[in-house]
Chain A
Amino acid sequence: MTLLAPVATLGRNTIGILAALGRITIYLVQTIGHMIRPPFYFKEFGHSLLTIGYFSLPVVGLTAFFTGGALALQIYAGSARFSAESVVPQIVAIGMVRELGPAMVGLMIAARVTSSIAAEIATMRVTEQIDALVTLSTHPMKYLTVPRVLAAFITVPILVGIGDVIGIFGGFLVATGKLDFNAATYLNNTVDFLEAADLASSLIKGAVFGFIAALMGCYYGMNSGRGAQGVGKATKSSVEAAAVLILAANFLLTSVLFAS
Chain B
Amino acid sequence: MITLTDVHKAFGTNKVLQGVNLTIPRGESMVIIGGSGTGKSVALKSILGLVTPDSGTITVDGQDVTKVERDAFLARFGMLFQGGALFDSLTVWQNVAFRLLRGSLKRPKDEAREIAIEKLRRVGLKSEVADLFPAELSGGMQKRVGLARAIAAEPEIIFFDEPTTGLDPIMAGVINELIREIVVEMGATAMTITHDMSSVRAIADKVAMLHDGVIQWTGPVADMDDSGDPYLDQFIHGRAEGPIEAVR
Interface residue from A127, A129, A134 paired with B48 (Cβ < 8 Å):
A134
Bound together, the chains give a CA A128 to CA B162 distance in angstroms of 13
Residues of B within 8 A of A138 (CB): 98, 102-103
Is A131 a contact partner of B85 (Cβ separation < 8 A)? yes
> Is the Cβ of B98 less than 8 Å from the Cβ of A128?
no
Query: Are B81 and A128 in touch, CB under 8 angstroms?
Result: yes
CA A128 to CA B45, docked complex, whole Å:
11
Q: State the CA gap A39–B48 with chains docked (Å).
A: 21
A136 to B104, CA, bound (A): 11
* Chain B CB within 10 Å, residue with most, of A39, A124, A137, A138: A137
A134 engages B50 (CB within 8 Å): yes
Distance from B245 Cβ to chain A, minimum over Cβ atoms (Å): 24
Q: Does A41 belong to the interface (CB within 8 Å)?
A: yes
Within 8 A of A (CB), among B36-74: 45, 48-50, 70-71, 74
Closest approach, in angstroms, between the C-beta of A13 and any C-beta of chain B? Answer: 21
B81 CB contacts on chain A under 8 angstroms = 128, 131-132
From B74, which residue of chain A is reached at the shortest CB distance? A137
User: Residues of A within 8 Å of B, CB-based: how many?
Assistant: 13
Show the binding face of B for A, using Cβ within 8 Å.
45, 48-50, 70-71, 74-75, 77-79, 81-83, 85-88, 98-99, 102-105, 149
Taking beta carbons and an 8 Å cutoff, which residues of A are in contact with B? Answer: 39, 41, 124, 127-129, 131-132, 134-138
21 A-B pairs with C-beta separation under 8 A: A39-B103, A41-B102, A124-B87, A129-B86, A131-B50, A131-B85, A132-B79, A132-B81, A134-B49, A135-B50, A135-B77, A135-B78, A135-B79, A136-B74, A136-B98, A136-B99, A137-B71, A137-B74, A137-B75, A137-B103, A138-B98
Q: What 10 A-B pairs have minimum CB-CB distances, sorted nearest first? A: A132-B85, A128-B85, A137-B74, A135-B79, A128-B81, A137-B71, A136-B99, A129-B85, A137-B103, A136-B98
Given A136-B98, A137-B105, 17 extra CB contacts under 8 A: A128-B81, A128-B82, A128-B83, A131-B45, A131-B81, A132-B79, A132-B81, A132-B86, A134-B49, A135-B48, A135-B50, A135-B74, A135-B77, A136-B99, A136-B149, A137-B70, A138-B102
